[in-house]
Structure 1
Amino acid sequence: MFAHWKASLGFAVLLMIAGGASAQSPHVYTLSGDVAFTHDPSIAKDGKTWYVFATGKTPEGGQFAIRCSDDLEHWKRCGQVFNAIPDWIQKRSPGTKDLWAPDVSYENHEYRMYYAYSLFGKNTSGIALAVNKTLDPTSPDFKWVDKGLVLESKAEDNFNAIDPNFIRDHKGQDWLAFGSFWDGIKMRHLDKSTGLLSTTDTTLYSLARRAQPPDAAPAPPGLPPNWEAIEAPFIVFHGGYYYLFTSWDLCCRGLKSTYKTVIGRAKAVTGPYVDETGKPLLEGGGTPLLVANSRWLGPGGESIWMGPKDEDLIVFHAYDAKTGRPSMQLSTIDWTGGWPHAGLEP
């Protein structure tokens, strides 16, 4: 979930104004404990314990640090998913040093974690699947089993197979949204029993893309053009609509991070998605949800947990405006007016 697009100051100001105009009063958690350097967090719950999974190498040399909490406020490290990058990924992508963007869900009596491997700025990427019977590291059943490759993209493709997100639609069909830069956010139909790609529906659906501005700068050497930056899709169903959350602009740049979280909605999981003004997301539309404030920069890399009584949560990362250090953020979601509202720590 590494972004490369830099918004103009004027556009960023407009987004902040738009975001502020629709802001409601969600509850923003004050977090403590081991919350620093939590990139691309994915939140799940098993029993009474909350778990957050994050991108990258752990201090022990493994991949995907796991953080635990009993109250959503106090967090501690409680393990890692992999002790090392799987051998098949090392052979397929020998330059890969970190695994990215875990997406954890509970389906078919197992926890599924879709995740990505890639190289910075390249679309020679892949999405894989690992499964576990439990998230409790003290359980005798705790063991992450890697199921291997689900989907890959190659240099000649117009999409990038990273930032996976699983959703089961209201008809019981399974889908995988993904994408970063290039032609934007894509989707594939999954086989419900295996979690792998459907063999009967091989359509590559398009959900959202950025619009090229007339003054777009040339692409940096060997990298996609900055104006293409849209990634980190996450889809939820609420009130008769599917809501597509995405991250725009630059991630992972410390004080220069310009990430922001943008949304659209649709009646069908495959779209067409539109923003609050009715502009299609396939034409560059998007309603701002999370934008920088005076304390936190670059809020994005989000995942959502849908609660039983509209007790919905969004977890994401943001960068300290003084130090540039990333940290986890957590907010409830308010759905007033049919659109989600969330907040950053003040």
Structure 2
Amino acid sequence: MRRRRLATLLSAAVLAFLPATAQADTAHPDPQPVTGQQIIHDPTVIRLKSGGYVAYSTGGVIGARTSRDRVHWDDAGNAFATPPSWWYEYNDTGDPWAPDISYRAGRYWLYYAVSSWGTNHSAIGVATSPTGLPGTWTDHGKVFTSETTDTWNAIDPAVVRADGKLWMAFGSYWTGIRMVELDPGTGKAIEGATVHHLATRPDEPYAVEGPEIVRHGRYYYLFASYDACCSGVNSTYKIRVGRSASVTGPYVDSTGKPMLAGGGDLLLAGHGRYVGTGGQSVFEDGGRDVLAYHYYDAEDEGTPKLGLNILRWTKNGWPTVG
């Protein structure tokens, strides 16, 4: 599960630095070259209306990176100066994970999760900003929560608009990926909203998480991270995808296998120095879709770093990594 403080990630990566690169799959393309501050985990990226890019991530109080050209990235501190007080209901350090940034109704929206390792006592929160830049966010509290009595886990949010409505996919392990409808005014879950089930694995621990949903043509595409993160070069994260004509599913892969039965086409897996590719998001840039993710650098003691690749679409409407 991708819910660990960045300091812990880095420490675990060093301790776990073993020759796992023998498992590399060289069929997958490398990420585009980037420079500057490359360390990141669970990146969400957007091209700002004011120009340039901002990326937010797990680590710090939602760590921030900025870029003018999508190549050189600078450390920009954190989204918040201090954690909102309610975060401490979910962990002792006020530690957030896996943000999701979007632009809607004249402002930027930042969704994120707070929880503790190994429990589904979790919450998703939301903040807004007029510029999308760190230090400008106003927190609005809880969007949706889960408790130990629930069969889902309220982490890893991803917001998408569909058919005039606003939706949020979320989830990790605990039977996989779920979805609820949001109130477009508040950005929070509609009271009593149905919890839709989008993807899972057949067997425990149901290792699928980190959804991202993208509209392309007449389909919605569900990208998700499968297997395990957060173990440096021993991480087995990989990105799979399925699609549906309805945002609430059912999602199937190119063979017709449902993602609720463990289906999902393999989009990107570890290869060479780029181990454990996952924690993905997708953003639009100049009319093209760009896949953002983290990988563990086998040539730098398993440090998590930023991966960026152009998404291309086949004639049959399936994404490939360029």
> TM-score, normalised to structure 1's length?
0.83
Amino-acid identity (%): 42
Deviation at 1:97, TM superposition (A): 4.5
The answer for the alignment partner of 2:275 in structure 1 is 297
Unaligned runs of 5+ in 1: 5-11, 58-62, 213-224
Is residue 2:188 matched to residue 1:209?
no
Residues in 2 aligned to 1:74 and 1:279: alpha-carbon distance in whole angstroms: 40
The answer for the alignment partner of 1:267 in structure 2 is 245
Is residue 2:93 matched to residue 1:93?
no
1:72 to 64, 70, 73: 70
Residues in 2 aligned to 1:336 and 1:321: alpha-carbon distance in whole angstroms: 31
The answer for the alignment partner of 2:8 in structure 1 is none
Is residue 2:294 matched to residue 1:317?
yes
1:215-294 aligned within 5 A: 225-226=204-205, 228-294=206-272
Task: Give the residue type in structure 1 aligned to 2:63.
Answer: A
Task: Give the residue type in structure 1 aligned to 2:56.
Answer: F
Is residue 2:155 matched to residue 1:158?
no
Q: The residue matched to 1:76 in structure 2 has which SS? A: strand
Residues in 1 aligned to 2:277 and 2:265: alpha-carbon distance in whole angstroms: 14
Is residue 2:111 matched to residue 1:114?
yes
1:148 to 141, 145, 155: 141
Aligned residues: 302
Residues in 2 aligned to 1:317 and 1:128: alpha-carbon distance in whole angstroms: 22
Deviation at 1:16, TM superposition (A): 5.0
Q: The residue matched to 1:333 in structure 2 has which SS? A: strand
The answer for the alignment partner of 2:7 in structure 1 is none
> TM-score, normalised to structure 2's length?
0.89
- Cα deviation 1:130-176 (Å, max 9, x = unaligned): 11011246xxxx6210000111100011000000000011x221000
Deviation at 1:262, TM superposition (A): 0.5
Is residue 2:314 matched to residue 1:340?
no
The answer for the alignment partner of 2:36 in structure 1 is 33
The answer for the alignment partner of 2:13 in structure 1 is none
- Cα deviation 1:29-70 (Å, max 9, x = unaligned): 20010012x00000012122111101112xxxxx01211111
- Cα deviation 1:312-334 (Å, max 9, x = unaligned): 10110001123211100101111
Alpha carbons 2:87, 2:94 under 8 Å: kept: no
Residues in 1 aligned to 2:244 and 2:257: alpha-carbon distance in whole angstroms: 12
* Root-mean-square deviation over aligned CA pairs: 2.1
Alpha carbons 1:3, 1:250 under 8 Å: kept: no
Q: The residue matched to 1:88 in structure 2 has which SS? A: helix
Residues in 1 aligned to 2:123 and 2:214: alpha-carbon distance in whole angstroms: 23
The answer for the alignment partner of 1:84 in structure 2 is 82
The answer for the alignment partner of 1:2 in structure 2 is 2
Residues in 2 aligned to 1:103 and 1:16: alpha-carbon distance in whole angstroms: 29
Residues in 2 aligned to 1:106 and 1:94: alpha-carbon distance in whole angstroms: 29
Residues in 1 aligned to 2:102 and 2:3: alpha-carbon distance in whole angstroms: 25
Q: The residue matched to 1:341 in structure 2 has which SS? A: strand
Query: Against the structure 1 CA distance between its residues 257 and 28, is the aligned structure 2 distance closer, same or farther, given a 3 Å change threshold?
Result: closer
Residues in 1 aligned to 2:83 and 2:187: alpha-carbon distance in whole angstroms: 21
Q: The residue matched to 1:282 in structure 2 has which SS? A: helix
Residues in 2 aligned to 1:293 and 1:93: alpha-carbon distance in whole angstroms: 36
Residues in 2 aligned to 1:172 and 1:332: alpha-carbon distance in whole angstroms: 28
Deviation at 1:93, TM superposition (A): 2.0
Residues in 1 aligned to 2:240 and 2:259: alpha-carbon distance in whole angstroms: 10
Residues in 1 aligned to 2:233 and 2:25: alpha-carbon distance in whole angstroms: 17
Residues in 1 aligned to 2:188 and 2:67: alpha-carbon distance in whole angstroms: 31
Query: Against the structure 1 CA distance between its residues 307 and 34, is the aligned structure 2 distance closer, same or farther, given a 3 Å change threshold?
Result: closer
Deviation at 1:198, TM superposition (A): 1.5
Residues in 1 aligned to 2:185 and 2:38: alpha-carbon distance in whole angstroms: 35
Residues in 1 aligned to 2:69 and 2:156: alpha-carbon distance in whole angstroms: 27
Deviation at 1:211, TM superposition (A): 1.4
The answer for the alignment partner of 1:221 in structure 2 is none
Alpha carbons 2:3, 2:117 under 8 Å: kept: no
Unaligned runs of 5+ in 2: 5-21
